[in-house]
Structure 1
Amino acid sequence: MSSGSGSLSRYLVIRLLLVIPMMWVVLTVIFFLLRVAPGDPVSAAFGGRLDEHALDVRRAALGLNRPLIVQYFDYLGDVARFDFGHTISDNRPVLDVIREQGGATLTLTLGAFLFALLIGLPLGRLAGRYRDSGTDAAIRIFGVVTYAAPIFWVGIMLVLLVVKVFPGWPTYDIASPITKFTVPPKTHILLLDAVLSGNSDALVDVLKHHVLPCFTLGLLLSGVIIRLVRINVIQAMKGDYVEAARARGIPERRVVRRHAFRNALVPVITVIGLQVALTLGGAVLTERTFNWPGLGTELIQYITARDYIALQGLVTFFALIVVIVSVLVDILNALVDPRVRY
């Protein structure tokens, strides 16, 4: 085995082993933070509506009458089996909530990343190529504004703009009622279900409903990508390989595209992974703004109902997704950039 492949294997093994303590810390923080609040989840959800005996019965059913340390190890064991508990307010397995509503959040997140890349990559490259020019200044201001603007305000402004410019374009919900009724939920991912059903009208309807929420969230994510690509293009333009390409008479546009821009993309992979947590947080507000039936909407409803068990399960699931994506990004970086392995 060569030293390069050996270092890659060693890096991958170490990185995967680090997942265990990372997950333990995350799960421990989630468990104890939700128990810092006074009272207990059952009293918070049903206090004033049930007598004390009924509350005790529900606590016993949920295992909340056992010592805290026992609840803690039960929680770790349940998560290891992908059991995120049962909601208090409607007695549903949290895993069923994730399975039924997670598809909407997944398509929103992926669509937002697509728009963020379509906006951020070309603008970042353009700003890096024309550094300190008027174009660069305008793009930098755009990036700062999109990153700092409140997502709910941007969503509302875009809804008003679309209603004015494109009357009749859908501005809320994931699809029209007729589409939800006619498309069978095979995968609980409505966009994919519309494709599998072979219903072109339903597919067009779903895509129309996806554009505005995905564009809104993607627009705010693009600010980070613009800034990162710009900085790395500027640094890459100072490299010896760029000067060598210019000396060979290669046109400047080709030098930027094939040499500077390609090398500037390596750090973007890391940032995209780090943006997963921000995207999930933004998805909560985006779903609320556009009445999107995803996990963010469910999370808000369970917070309103003071259902701490459901909240614990959903937050745990979000945390696991962030950790998994972080590991995948590290592995991808090691494959793309050999310097990461050493």
Structure 2
Amino acid sequence: MAAVSEQTGTGRTRARPFYRTGKNITKVLFSLVITFLGLLLVTFLIGRILPIDPVLAVVGDRAPQAVYDRVREEMGLNQPLWQQFFIYISNVLHGDFGKSVLTTNPVLTDIKRVFPATLELATLATIIGVAIGIPAGVFAAVHKGKWPDHIVRVIGLAGYSMPIFWLGLMGLLVFYMKLGWVAGPGRLDSFYVDFVEPRTGLMLVDTLLGDDPGLFWNAVSHIVLPASILAYFSLAYIARMTRSFMLEQLGQEYILTARVKGISETRIIWRHALGNVMVPLVTVIALSYANLLEGSVLTEIIFAWPGLGLYITNSLLNADMNAVLGGTIVVGTVFIGVNMLSDLLYRLLDPRARK
């Protein structure tokens, strides 16, 4: 009997991790579904509250009443609000965001065309922000209260204070018009547009795959300025958070113990302290990346960058609500996905979070 009890207890002990894992996965999926439904509810209500008649956007303000009523019925706007919401959910889950009034294409088709441009811009900006922001934050923390710390803090404060549209215009004026160091607005010079075979939608990748160095460097020249401006805001946030995290770690007892043992200061800072800092920094970087994906609207407008932000803005100015709401859903979904990914990475990197 004791052996049977012992085997049963061992089996239960082994089953507990699987039970906890399944329970955690269920919680994550439930949270994901609730958040996504909340996003759909908000976008649905926005489409109904705004003083823009989607029927008039389709038929025009001079259409006969009979045509207006027929189109309204076809769009399902004559049904109760709760029923419209369930139809809206069903359409979104099937990838149907409706047709764009501005382009006459399905909204999802337009989003697939413009989203890679935003993805490319935000990804490059994040890479630059991380590559500069983390070392700057570490440097400021190590030299707390000294001139390097003050310089990093001033640069970070300026990054939060200066309007991005002003910085973009000044960048174009100085580096494009006056110095000629970079190319102008757009992703490529108009002469090169027809020479690029669209494969991934990422201009740097497509021009590199095209085996034409001239095309590739032209694309680099176009993206470097808008990416650097977005990266400035990203690195300001990352540097500030890195400095804060590093100051906390450098005051811990294990740092003092490492110094007493004679470990080099370089190893203490860049391996031990920064190693512990990287766990919370994953969340900071992920949130910064998500913010760049959804917040690059002004940059895309200034640099005529044909991305999702510019697409949503033009659609809003033309009362194209299907395109506006479809783009908003995509941005919200990306934000939810990045948050979930950062939470997963946090759990993988930090054993305490797994417990």
TM score, norm. by length of structure 2: 0.89
**C-alpha deviation, 1:193, in angstroms:** 1.6
**What is the letter of the counterpart of residue 198 of structure 2?**
P
Contact residue 123 and residue 289 of structure 2 kept, 8 A: no
Counterpart residue identity of residue 217, structure 1: L
Residues 63-108 of structure 1 show CA distances to partners (whole Å, capped at 9, x for unaligned) of: 3333322221111112222222222333211110111111101101
> Which structure exhibits the higher relative contact order, with contacts defined as CA atoms closer than 8 Å and separated by 6 or more residues?
1
Shift of 1:285: 1.0
Please give the root-mean-square deviation of Cα atoms over the aligned residues, in Å: 2.1
Task: Write the distance in 1 (CA, Å) between the matches of 2:104 and 2:276.
Answer: 51
Deviations 1:161-205 (A, max 9, x none): 213663252031111123221011122222222122222211111
Question: Residue 213 of structure 1 aligns with which residue?
Answer: 226
| Offset of residue 276 of structure 1 | 3.9
Distance 2:229 2:18 in 1: 42
2:339 is aligned with what amino acid? Answer: S
The answer for the alignment partner of 1:334 in structure 2 is 347
Counterpart-to-counterpart distance in 1, 2:268 and 2:177: 42
Q: Which residue, 148, 158, 173 being the options, matches 2:171? A: 158
Partner of residue 235, structure 1 = 248
Is 2:109 aligned against 1:102?
A: no
Note closer, same or farther for the CA distance 1:4–1:133 as it changes in structure 2 (3 Å cut): farther
* Aligned 8 A contact 2:182 2:225 in 1: no
Task: State how far apart, in whole Å, the 2-side matches of 1:339 and 1:8 are.
Answer: 15
Amino acid in structure 1 at the alignment position of 2:55:
V
SS at match of 2:96: coil
**Residue 247 of structure 2 aligns to a residue in which SS?**
helix
User: Who is 1:184 aligned against?
Assistant: 197
Q: Structure 1: which 5+ residue stretches go unaligned? A: none
1:245 equivalent to 2:222? Answer: no
Q: Does the residue aligned with 1:63 lie in a helix, a strand or coil?
A: coil
1:271 paired with 2:284, answer yes
Q: Which residue of 2 aligns with 1:87?
A: 100
Change (3 A) 1:221 1:258: same
Task: Show structure 2 runs of 5+ residues with no match.
Answer: 1-13
Q: What's the counterpart of residue 202 of structure 1?
A: 215
Q: Does 1:22 align with 2:16?
A: no
Identity of aligned residues (%): 31
What's the counterpart of residue 270 of structure 2?
Answer: 257
Q: Which amino acid aligns with 1:196?
A: L
User: Residues 118-129 of structure 1 correspond to what in structure 2 (within 5 A)?
Assistant: 118-129=131-142
Q: Do 2:137 and 2:239's aligned partners in 1 also have CA atoms closer than 8 Å? A: yes
2:320 to 297, 307, 314: 307
Runs (4 or more) in structure 1 with deviation over 6 Å come to: 2-6
Code of the residue aligned with 2:65 in structure 1: it is E
Whole-angstrom CA distance in 2 between matches of 1:88 and 1:282: 24
The structural deviation recorded for 1:38 is 3.1
